[in-house]
Every structure is written in C-alpha cells, then in structure tokens.
Amino acid sequence: MHSIRDLIYTCPVTFLLASLTWACGPSAPASTSDDPPDVTEDVAPDIKVEEEVTAVDIPVECAADSVMVEGECISEQTVPCADIAPPDNGQQIDAEVTITYTDADGWSDPAECEWECLPDFELQVDACINEQIVPCAEATPPENGHQIDGEVTITFTDEDGWSEPEECGWECDADFDLFEELCINEQEVLCAETNPPENAHEVTVEVTITYNDADGWSLPTECEWECDADFELQEELCINELTVACADIEPPENAHQIDDTVTITFTDADGWSDAADCLWECDVEFDLLEGVCVNELTVECADIVPPANGHQMESEVTITYTAADGWSEAAPCTWECDTDYSLDAESCINEQIVDCADILPPDNAEQIEGEITITYSDADGWTEPIDCAWECSADFDLVEDNCIDEQLVDCGDIVAPANAHQVEDQVSISYSDAEGWADPTECEWECDVDFDLVEGNCIDEQVVDCTDIAAPGNAHERSYV
C-alpha cells in the first residue's frame, strides 16, 4: 500500500487544478471527481494524465535538521576523513567518517584521519623510530678481566622487532696483561742461560715470570745445571769417585768393628757403589759360635694352657749361660685370642650389646633410643654401632625424608562452566596426626579466550537494543531486538 505522502517522497508529483482523468496502473478506474484518490488503494509508482490540464508544482520540504541530497532527505552521510600531518616516519590512514547535518550549523566537519608508523618503524612516545641507543649487553669477560660499560645502537624491523644490543667490551684488571684472549699476571717461559762447571751441563726448564702494570713482565730466573752422565754433584763439583770409610757393620753382639778406608764409584744407573764392609772381631771374654760372639741363646718358649677362644703364641726366649750353672730354663709362652676375637677383661669375645649411635635427626623429628649388637673381626675391628632410628614429631608427617606440617599442592579440580576453564594454582595444606593432610582448596576458573563473564556466564554474543537514529520527518524509529 502507498499513500500520497509516499509518492511525494519517492517521485515528482504534479497536482492538477482542473478535472482530470487519471489512473494508477493499467487497470485503475477513471475518475472525474475533484476529490483526491483513495489513499488506501494500491497505486502505481507513476501517475498517468489522460488529458491536458493546467498543473502547479508543489515543492517538497525535508524535516528539521535534514536536507535534500540527490532527491532524498538525509541528516548524515559518509565522507573521507580530514587530512592530517602525521609525524616523521608516519603515514595517514585514509578512512570514511560520518558527518551530520543541522539546520543551525549545516554539515559538521569530518573527523581527522588517524595515522600509523611506516613499515619497519615503531611508535614510542608519540614518535616513529627504528633505532635507539641502549646500554650494551652484559659480556662475559675472562677470569681477571672486567666489563667496559657503554651504549650501542639497536634497530627495528616489523619482521624481527628490535635487534639485540651488542655485547659490552672488556679489559684486563689492574696488574694483569692480555695474552691469547686471557688476562694473566704470570706465565711459564724458558729459564735464562748460565755457565755450568766442568763435567756438568745446563738444564733448560720453564720458569714462572710475573706481570704488573708498573714494571711489565719480570725477567726469567737463570737456568740450573746438572752433572753429566755418571757424575754427581759434591760441594759444587761433579765427581764420579771418592775415598770413604768402610761401611759400618753390625758386628755380632759382644764383637766390635775394625775401621778402615775404601774407594767407591758413581754411575747414573746404580748411583754410588757401596763401600766395602768393615771387618770385625769378638770382644774380650766372648767366643765366636757359628759366626756370632755369644754368652746367651734364643730358644722356643715353654708351652701353656690359654683361655677359651685363645691360643698359645709360639715365640723365642733368651736363655743365658754361665760357666757355673750352664744354660738357664726357657720362659713360658704368651697367648692371644683366636682369629676374629678380641681381648676383653681376660676373655676372648667377638660380639657385644651396645647403645645405638646418636644421630642428629632432621628438623621436627626425634631420635628413637635402642640397643644393638656389634661384632668383631681382625680385619675391621669392632663394627660401628648403627645409627639410632628417628621419627617425626607430633603433628608432623614424613614427606621425601623431611618432617613437615604444611606443603604446597595443586588446587582441587573443579568442573568449570561452559566456555570456561580451570585455573591451575598451588595452595597450602596442613597436617595433624588426628586428621592427616587437609584437602586442598578448589581451583578458581576463568572464561576462555574471546568469552566474557556476564551475570555468572561466559558468553561471546548477546541480544541488545538497536542504536537510536534520527528518523526523517513524518517517520518514526522502529526498534529491533
């Protein structure tokens, strides 16, 4: 259905002042009445005039705060944004914006265009930059070296972001010198040449020289020297033969040495040859018996009866001789405990009961006193008593060798609502002997990515009222939900 008012806004209309015949569409009835057509009837978008009549154009006026543009009353339109002057290394972002019309002010000015940094530039404090000066990166100087702090330039690209700053330089500490990428103040060098004595030669070895900033490197010490092959140093001379006293001997008891001199020689293989042994002779009132001057002899001890788990120790004892009495009787043998037995108060034992060894129990624990059996062996002696046991104090529990009454565990699992997920976290639980470990508190939850919490639900869409508009004249806004 269309009204005359509809036709006024949708097509040019000429009202006829005289009687006319007109039709809406090809099948509309003719009318000679001065009355306007029934507005409730369907009419075509064009009005056909069947006879010549005098016509007057009636102008169409737009509603308040709207204007005719290309045959249509409007109060807003889309136009390009207003040009701006972006900062250095920035560029304008062309876009369309909405301007509005009022009868009082006409069309509003378009909003200014926004801007962005050029490629490979980044916005920092209202400026587009692609390089900046920053402190150099921490270096790892060698031992006895230190870092030289400074500033370096880093650059920016869209692909890689900001480049990493270069490492700081370094230098050796005071009284250290750079040598083959190391900071040192001592090194091994060849010794300085010297003039060895006769039958000797120089020994070239490495010696330590030192460095300081004031004097630089110290001079190497002179080389040492050593005697030639088959010569030995004696009082700063290299010799290979000597006249010495004969070798001291241990003459038989009640005999004495006869002193004399002999010649000895030197070789690297064997060193100095041994001096020949001195001769000996028996003392006065002693006689030589099988190469020994004696007035006493060593014989086996006399047998005894040892205690349980013990045995006699065979040994030799000395008997003496006098012309008046002859040889004396042998002394009785001693005894010792059998293998893997130990002497204790004249008894031979190999086990005993003792207290367990004191320990230092861990925090929040106590030692458990007790007795244990230790054993004996000749190889190892008495075994060490084993450590006493320990147990956690009241209201503490053993966890991974520690006595604790609280610990961090994962929060308790929950069933999160739709479009949400559990937030994993650690919570503290406590222990008591009466109750054991307490249950962990439940985990929190949060909405999934791209979902928002609204009235207890995680949603990513909702129904709201449409946006208010300014309807044209003789029109009204229609609400949609």
Mean pLDDT of 56-83: 87
Q: How confident is the model at residue 479 (pLDDT cuts 50, 70, 90)?
A: low
Q: In this structure, what token pair is assigned to residue 278?
A: 């001195």
Lowest mean pLDDT segment, chosen from 116-125, 158-167, 279-288: 279-288
Res 235: pLDDT = 87
Res 56: pLDDT = 53
Res 46: pLDDT = 46
Res 337: pLDDT = 93
129 or 290: which carries more pLDDT confidence? 129
**How far, in whole angstroms, is CA 280 from its chain's centroid?**
81
Task: Note the pLDDT tens digit of each residue in 436-468.
Answer: 999 999 999 999 999 999 988 999 999 888 888
Q: How confident is the model at residue 59 (pLDDT cuts 50, 70, 90)?
A: low
Q: Is the pLDDT of residue 173 over 50?
A: yes
Residues constituting the chain? 481
Res 214: pLDDT = 92
Res 254: pLDDT = 82
Residue that has been written with the tokens 């900001």 in this structure = 162
Q: Is the pLDDT of residue 24 over 80?
A: no
* Burial grade of 479 (CB within 10 A; 0-12, 13-18, 19 or more): exposed
Res 42: pLDDT = 44
| φ and ψ at residue 149, rounded to 5 degrees | -70, 150
Res 57: pLDDT = 56
Mean pLDDT of 248-263: 88
Q: How confident is the model at residue 210 (pLDDT cuts 50, 70, 90)?
A: very high
Three-state secondary structure along the chain? CCCHHHHHHHCCCEEECCCCCEECCCCCCCCCCCCCCCCCCCCCCCCEECCCCCEEECCCCCCCCCEEECCEEECEEEEECECCCCCCCEEEECCEEEEEEECCCEECCCCECEEEECCCCEEECCEEECEEEEECECCCCCCCEEEECCEEEEEEECCCEECCCCECEEEECCCCEEECCEEECEEEEECECCCCCCCEEEECCEEEEEEECCCEECCCCECEEEECCCCEEECCEEECEEEEECECCCCCCCEEEECCEEEEEEECCCEECCCCECEEEECCCCEEECCEEECEEEEECECCCCCCCEEEECCEEEEEEECCCEECCCCECEEEECCCCEEECCEEECEEEEECECCCCCCCEEEECCEEEEEEECCCEECCCCECEEEECCCCEEECCEEECEEEEECECCCCCCCEEEECCEEEEEEECCCEECCCCECEEEECCCCEEECCEEECCCCCCCCCCCCCCCCCCCCCC
Task: Note the pLDDT tens digit of each residue in 376-390.
Answer: 999 999 999 999 999
Res 100: pLDDT = 94
Mean pLDDT of 394-409: 92
Nearest Cα residue to 218 out of 179, 193, 183, 192 = 192
What percentage of the chain exceeds 90 in pLDDT? 53
Q: How confident is the model at residue 40 (pLDDT cuts 50, 70, 90)?
A: very low
Whole-angstrom distance, CA of residue 279 vs CA of residue 257: 6
Query: Does the global pTM surpass 0.75?
Result: no
Res 119: pLDDT = 94
| φ and ψ at residue 85, rounded to 5 degrees | -110, 95
Mean pLDDT of 343-366: 91
2 or 316: which carries more pLDDT confidence? 316
Res 23: pLDDT = 38
Res 282: pLDDT = 83
Whole-angstrom distance, CA of residue 448 vs CA of residue 460: 10
Nearest Cα residue to 176 out of 151, 141, 124 = 141
Q: How confident is the model at residue 2 (pLDDT cuts 50, 70, 90)?
A: very low
Whole-angstrom distance, CA of residue 66 vs CA of residue 104: 11
Lowest mean pLDDT segment, chosen from 73-82, 229-238, 283-292: 283-292
Whole-angstrom distance, CA of residue 434 vs CA of residue 398: 15
Res 17: pLDDT = 36
Average pLDDT over the chain, rounded to an integer? 84
Res 288: pLDDT = 80
Whole-angstrom distance, CA of residue 129 vs CA of residue 89: 7
Q: How confident is the model at residue 294 (pLDDT cuts 50, 70, 90)?
A: confident
Q: How confident is the model at residue 426 (pLDDT cuts 50, 70, 90)?
A: very high
